[in-house]
Amino acid sequence: MIGFTMTARSNHQTIRVLLLTTALVAGCNQETSGPAAHPLAVGPVPATVQRQGNPAAGYDALVNQPYISCGMPYSAFIKATSPPSPRQLLSNRNSRNRELPYMLTIRDTDDGVRLVTSNCLSCHAGYFDDELIIGLGNEFLDFTRDASISAEQLGAYVTSKKDALEWKKWADRIATIAPYMRTDTLGVNPAVNLTFALMAHRNPVSLKWSDKALIEPPPKAPLPVSVPPWWRMKKKNALFYNTEGRGDHARIMMLAATLCTDSIEEARKIDRLATDIRAYLGSLEAPEYPYPVDSKRAAKGRTLFEQDCSFCHGTYGNNASYPNLVVHHDEVGTDPELARLLTSEENLRFIQWFNRSFFGENSSGEAAPGYIAPPLDGVWATAPYFHNGSVPSMEGVLNSAARPKYWILPENPDRFNQKTLGWYYTEPGYGKKGAVNRSEKKRIYDTTINGYSNTGHRYGDRFNHQQRAALIEYIKTL
């Protein structure tokens, strides 16, 4: 479960999916598109001066301020849920949010209705060794369900007229976008498709919502995205896997709030928070590896890394550097579908939307036909790997022959494989077509599906077993 458990009086799935729905819209990592009419060439991404913010104020805004303005009425929420577990609470929140799960925030409307809204932490906080790490991408969210059903079910707990109006606004919008955000695999994120669906239902100039699509929506089969860690932001000159988030990063991140942002005035209020939130994200450090490290082996791995890997992924320690290098999808060989989508002519309507909108005023969405080689700080904690989460361990990243064709993570992973740097997984020996029921089917990562392939990045194949073991040992220290 995510966030809380249901009472016996309600379907135990009623809230789970719809919280994830709003949370995804609230998340700050979404792989959004931008205004560039044509893709850029691959190569280094130039830096852009960012607006300065206050990291402390940014943390407060992130966990306490309602930058998502629609949600479920609090009166219905408390009827449908039981209290959160202690591990879901953040002690340093303000008084009205302290009793909520970390991924939820209180908002009081001008009409006096108290709402429970989602915040960025649903996608951007995860557990490791039972410790909640803010900035770690949550790779175990479930977007396989129809979120509109859950939203409708919550309506049974709404009583007052004012509450009903707020619930209907929120539930109707979820019903509109739900078909575009439903994945067929647990753990992958439909951020790109959802963002495009929201664009289709908003006027780019006024930001006014339209129940009827104003431009053709995206297809209803989201490409999978793995949630990257926030601590990478301090090094990256552009956001997202295809570097489409260039210019003012705070303004680009705000695009994730478009489920509920209905006017330019409201957008400008969120913009004031976004600058501080970006400053907080830029202050985050990667967690330290919590287990023993063989220092001699790690030293050998560092030599190999700096000789063979640093050109793309940078150097670490004293005099560290990061090249912000985009590699063409034909060269890196990882699944090309996301890069092709974001640089295609059929995607142009969404690029034009962004270009005309408030979000494109001081930023640009210059997607490149490839993927940026990410900085590897704390990468050991971020399995599964690649932009689509197709490789469950670092061993598989460095040895293409070790990548499973079909694999399943446990529903509540609590055993980390220190040897391979990934969660323990099982191999069913068959893909989704061979699954015995829907529950098993959604848990199978099937690399034969379009957008889900685990090909490419075969640079580690040149190393022998001892060399790969040394590289993994060094990666633990980053």
| pLDDT tens-digit series, residues 384-415 | 999 999 999 999 999 999 999 999 988 777 78
CB 196 within 8 A of CB 341: no
Mean predicted confidence (pLDDT) in 447-462: 97
What is the pLDDT at residue 2?
A: 30
State the DSSP H helix or E strand holding residue 147, giving kind and residue range, or none if neither.
Answer: helix 147-154
Please report, rounded to a whole number, the percentage of residues in the chain having pLDDT higher than 70. 91
Q: And the tokens for 128? A: 């490791």
Average pLDDT over residues 177-186: 95
Q: How far is CA 263 from the centre of its chain?
A: 25
Residue 346 binned pLDDT confidence (cut-offs 50, 70, 90): confident
- 194, 180 in Cβ contact below 8 A? yes
Is the CB of residue 231 less than 8 Å from the CB of residue 377? yes
Predicted pLDDT at 360:
92
| Higher pLDDT among residues 32 and 467, named by residue | 467
pLDDT in tens, 154-176: 999 999 999 999 999 999 999 99
pLDDT digits (tens, 9 = 90+) for 285-301: 999 999 999 999 999 99
Give every strand in the sheet of 72-73, ordered side by side: 72-73, 114-118, 104-108
User: Is the peptide bond between 35 and the residue preceding it cis, with omega within 30 degrees of 0?
Assistant: no
Residue type, 244: E
| pLDDT value of residue 297 | 98
Quote the pTM value. 0.90
Residue 66 has pLDDT above 60, yes or no: yes
- pLDDT at res. 20: 39
Domain definitions of the chain by residue range: 16-28+49-283
**What DSSP assignment string belongs to 285-296?**
-PPPP-S---HH
CB–CB of 31/97 below 8 Å? no
Q: Using one digit for the tens of pLDDT, what is the confidence trace for 1-54?
A: 233 333 333 333 333 334 334 434 433 333 333 333 334 568 999 999 999 999
Q: What is the pLDDT of residue 335?
A: 98
Is the pLDDT at 256 greater than 90, yes or no?
no
Q: What is the reported pLDDT for 41? A: 66
Per-residue pLDDT of 309-344, as tens digits, reads: 999 999 999 989 999 999 999 999 999 999 999 999
Q: How confident is the model at residue 427 (pLDDT cuts 50, 70, 90)?
A: very high
Residue 272 is encoded by which pair of tokens?
A: 């004031």
Pairing verdict, β 406-408 and 114-118: unpaired
